Structure 1
């Protein structure tokens, strides 16, 4: 997934699940169902300007 021009990887274990991303001053915190699954350092301080998410359904 991409946040503020930075790619965040969380792993295939969480494919198809809804995750929450907390944007903090120095890092991004990714949680799923209340458990923290990854922590990514922010490379740049680009602002988060869009708050939309797309759920990609598998093609049948």
Structure 2
């Protein structure tokens, strides 16, 4: 999902890490130097937040130093 818009690439691209080039009127999805897809943008407003989701993108986070519980809990 990019800016609230679902982008389907198909099962053969599942698990690939891609680059999304955000242009004025469309998105270009690249894998290395190969262009996988070009999709028109439905929402032309500015993109103000970035959240990446997928296999290997979210690392286990430690809540506090030395794995101690925080004082607020």
What's the TM-score once normalised by structure 2's chain length? 0.67
Cα deviation for residue 5 of structure 1 reads 1.0
User: CA offset at residue 50 of structure 1?
Assistant: 2.0
Specify every segment of 5 or more residues in structure 1 that has no aligned partner in the other structure, as ranges.
Answer: none
Quote the residue 2:68 is aligned against.
none
Count of residue correspondences: 56
Residue 10 of structure 1 pairs with residue 9 of structure 2? yes
Select the structure of larger CA radius of gyration. 2
Higher relative contact order (CA 8 A, sep 6+): 1
Detail structure 1 runs of 4+ shifted over 6 Å in the superposition.
none
Cα shift readout 1:6-35 (whole Å, capped 9, x = no counterpart): 111111111111000000000000000111
Residue 37 of structure 2 aligns to a residue in which SS? strand
RMSD, aligned CA = 1.4
